[in-house]
Structure 1
Amino acid sequence: MREPVTAYVGLGANLGDAAAQVRAALQWLQALPQSRCVAISGLWRTAPLEADGPDYCNAVAALHTRLTAPDLLSALHALEARAGRERPYRNAPRTLDLDLLLYGDARIESPRLTVPHPRWQQRAFVLVPLHEIAPQRVSAAALAAVADQPICRW
């Protein structure tokens, strides 16, 4: 049996009741096979970075999982589909967005998956909640670099 890996998942939603959608997704994450949710950040409000639309509700969860990174990504996509996620265009508003941010210390580059997430260090909505649950994963310099991005508790 595989040893568990600590994976960090970013959660976001900005359609419908975004906070309820993120809370539901956190419950679904806790029910993933071969996985256990070990930390959950608070909920954070951010404005969309690259498009117009309602504010996002964001969070980060830490999972101990025996799933491979590709299997975990597939499970996350299934949860997005369960929430009614559609992808009409890049950065479209969404009912639920689940990003595999980090998978242990793995570096993965494939057509389907890049870990660490390619933009995780550029986004306050990732770094602030990640710092809340895993401060050792976020440097002071990284937080300073996104200090101009508005973020507040939900």
Structure 2
Amino acid sequence: MNETVFLLLGSNLGDRGALLDEAARRLTGTPGLTLTAASSTYASSPAECPPGSPDFLNRVLKMECSLSPLGLLDITQKIETDLGRTGKGTNAPRPIDIDIILFGDRILRTERLEIPHPRMKRRPFVLVPLAEVAPEAVDPATRRPFADFIPPESLQDVVKCEEPVHDR
């Protein structure tokens, strides 16, 4: 049975736009995943990262998924590793980060994975692109629209980029 999932792609090292594009291409080419929508690319300052960390580019993908949550996690982690992500440092700069932010209406808490993503409601760089592709998306726990969690003053911190986005 397919479920709608939302993935947040992020990058703050290397050719960030090209890395987001390649991660999206690899996800779209994965059996059991079908892309149904992709947000624009947004730039934002790094949150909860070491001082001096480069700005992030982020994009949300809406996909239909026939995989289990942990099966999807295994795939996202392999793509991260293949695209140069290492496990060095909490919130350290990284070429690619793929977070499963929503998986249908599931609420899941395991050692490896928490769905909905535990910090998404306080992160405009997640909420703004999510609202673009799924303005009707609601928090499975509270049934409140995720758009309600976007503080208006934070909108200036998440900037929509002109496409295509590539660092030289």
How far has the Cα of 1:35 moved from its partner? 1.2
Task: Give the structure 2 partner of residue 9 of structure 1.
Answer: 7
Q: Root-mean-square deviation (CA), in Å? A: 1.4
| 1:45 paired to 2:52 | no
Would you say the 8 A contact 1:7–1:62 is kept in 2?
A: yes
**So what's the TM-score if we normalise by structure 2?**
0.86
The alignment-based identity, stated in percent, is 34
How far has the Cα of 1:133 moved from its partner? 0.2
Once residues 21 and 87 of structure 2 are traced to their aligned partners in structure 1, the CA distance between those partners, rounded to angstroms, is: 21
Structure 1 stretches (4+) deviating beyond 3 angstroms? none
Task: Give the structure 2 partner of residue 24 of structure 1.
Answer: 22
Once residues 98 and 149 of structure 1 are traced to their aligned partners in structure 2, the CA distance between those partners, rounded to angstroms, is: 24
Once residues 57 and 98 of structure 1 are traced to their aligned partners in structure 2, the CA distance between those partners, rounded to angstroms, is: 12
Unpaired stretches in structure 1, ≥5 consecutive residues: none
Once residues 54 and 107 of structure 1 are traced to their aligned partners in structure 2, the CA distance between those partners, rounded to angstroms, is: 32
- Within 5 Å, give how 1:44-83 maps onto structure 2: 44-51=42-49, 52-83=52-83
Unpaired stretches in structure 2, ≥5 consecutive residues: 138-144, 162-168
**So what's the TM-score if we normalise by structure 1?**
0.94
Would you say the 8 A contact 1:122–1:145 is kept in 2?
A: no
Task: Give the structure 2 partner of residue 144 of structure 1.
Answer: 151
Task: Give the structure 1 partner of residue 134 of structure 2.
Answer: 134
Once residues 108 and 37 of structure 2 are traced to their aligned partners in structure 1, the CA distance between those partners, rounded to angstroms, is: 23
